[in-house]
Chains A and B, each alone.
Chain A
Amino acid sequence: MRLAGKRALVTGGRQGIGRGIVEAFLAEGATVSTCGRGNRPKGLPDAVTWYGADVSDVEQVEELAQAAGVVDILVNNAGVQVEKTVVESTDADWDLVIGANCRGVFNMCRAFIPVMPQGGSIINIGSISGKVADPSMALYNASKAFVHGLTRSIAVDHGPKIRCNAICPGWIETGMLDAGFDLSDDPHAARKDALSRHATRRFGQPADIAAMAVWLASDEAGFATGQLFTIDGGMTAASPINTGLF
């Protein structure tokens, strides 16, 4: 039980990666709460406290901070994705993506850092898309680069009291990934092509990301701060040109 006695708050724990982190933290003995827009999701383990909160709304985050109290571990996972180029993006898209992915992480860190104890760990969910560009994901890509920069700033400004790192997931098996393949002309071929670009020949699972989150949250990671940890099955280690796939 690597997180016994620790209090953790994970934003966006309704599904996908956030849910995976919530379950892994529980299994390691932490007291876990999570939040999201709307009501408590069905099937969320009883031991987990749910807060209805939109991280992009500063007042809701302040209320959340009042309700949740002191936490040792904060995971900023909540995020949204809009698949558009700069020219296609509307003001509403900007508000949505930057609101959740940038403002949301800022709101949470500003509200919780002052009450986090010595040895606290903040884990932000960045993305490989913050390092290299996914096509037609302009605001999302930029928002994740913001998360990477903020991660380093928090580590520098709030060490040694608090450590702050980011995990940069690649393609993780969530509902979002399947929806992407379903839009393809040939979902089977698209999946096969994408798999062959991964050295692991599989996509990630939320549990793969959660495993790194557990380590970063634990005292074993006491010297790890200010860094970006990519978990992508080797995809971004390879050149986008693989003549074997043409």
Chain B
Amino acid sequence: MTGKLEGKTALVTGGRGGIGRAIVARFLREGAHVYAADLTPQGSLSEHDEDGSVFVKLDVTQETDAVAAMERVQSGTGKLDILVNAAGIEIEKTIEDTSLEEWNRSFAVNCTGTFLTSKYALPLMRKAAQSGTSASIINFGSYDGFIADPGLAAYCATKGAVHALTRAMACDHGPEGIRVNAICPGYIDTPMLQSFFTGDGSGAGGKTIDQLQQAVRDVHPMRTYGTPEDIANLVNWLASDEARYASGQLWVLDGGLSAQVQQMKL
């Protein structure tokens, strides 16, 4: 069986994190040559650091790192068909509690990181697009870019910025054969989500973390969180040639969460 991404080269930032790791695994199964870019080979997980992808050390906030990562791809496959900007952080605070350093750090990773990696990937992506099939950039927005979770101000703002940047990039680079889309996940079962629940233990209203998590699942029309694999399914499609007319869009994947109004306890 040949995969959907046979012959393609992909780079995934945050490639050793919760969602990034699932994307890397899926790309490998689909036959792509995959660079997993992250701060460390382990990323935010601690189990394994070998998965068949090529690890590239990348701090997305550093311009020199972005340049070096793309030089690495240049000297490897010499082109880049797929870029996934999955690196992201979350500061769980209101604007009043957020320090300037935390604010700047949020924007540095979530927005500047998407900007820098994409900027230096463009020459390699043009090369891929010239081969006849479109190249694809997939950014990570969030359903939080549309509606707010309480106490997550900087995160919400960075994701709204990524949404606008996605449309701008699609507009500017579509004529060069580069498609740009954003995936907007809801609650996905990742280390980031678990840290959100265990953070300071507040707001649990006397419930255990497990009870709290069940209550959150129950607010979803699908009654469950998404998995990193659910996200990888859509990333895979957007990366593939089947999605050759899909560009400039924000793809919400949240189990129906944001399709509904507040769930009052009546």
Contacts and interface: CB of A to CB of B under 8 A. Distances in A.
Interface string A167-205: 000000000000011011000011001100100000000
Contact of B266 (A133, A183, A237, A242): A183
A1 interface: no
A244 B263 CA distance: 14
Contacts of B222: none
Given A244-B205, A246-B215, A239 B143 contact: yes
B6 interface: no
Contacts of A69: none
Contacts, number: 81
B144 interface: yes
Interface string A212-236: 0000000000000000000000011
B263 A243 contact: no
Nearest to B214: A246
A243 B216 CA distance: 7
A9 B86 CA distance: 54
Interface string B127-151: 0000000000000000110011110
Contacts of B40: none
Interface in A53-91: none
A194 B264 contact: yes
Contacts of B264: 190, 193-194, 197
B187 interface: yes
Nearest to B216: A241
Contacts of A180: 266
B203 A133 contact: no
A43 interface: no
Given A240-B219, A246-B215, A134 B143 contact: no
Interface string B241-266: 00000000000000001111111111
Interface in A136-152: none
B147 A133 contact: no
A184 B266 CA distance: 5
B205 A239 contact: no
Interface of A: 128-129, 132-135, 180-181, 183-184, 189-190, 193-194, 197, 235-246
Q: Give the top 7 A-B pairs by smallest Cβ distance, nearest first.
A: A244-B203, A246-B215, A243-B203, A132-B261, A193-B265, A197-B262, A194-B264
Interface of B: 143-144, 147-150, 187, 197, 203-205, 207, 212, 215-216, 219, 257-266
Given A193-B265, A194-B265, A237-B147, 8 more contacts: A184-B265, A190-B265, A193-B264, A235-B262, A240-B219, A240-B260, A241-B149, A242-B150
26 contacts: A129-B261, A132-B261, A133-B259, A133-B260, A135-B260, A183-B266, A184-B265, A190-B266, A193-B265, A194-B266, A235-B261, A236-B261, A237-B147, A238-B147, A239-B148, A239-B149, A240-B258, A240-B263, A241-B187, A241-B219, A241-B257, A244-B150, A244-B205, A245-B205, A246-B207, A246-B212
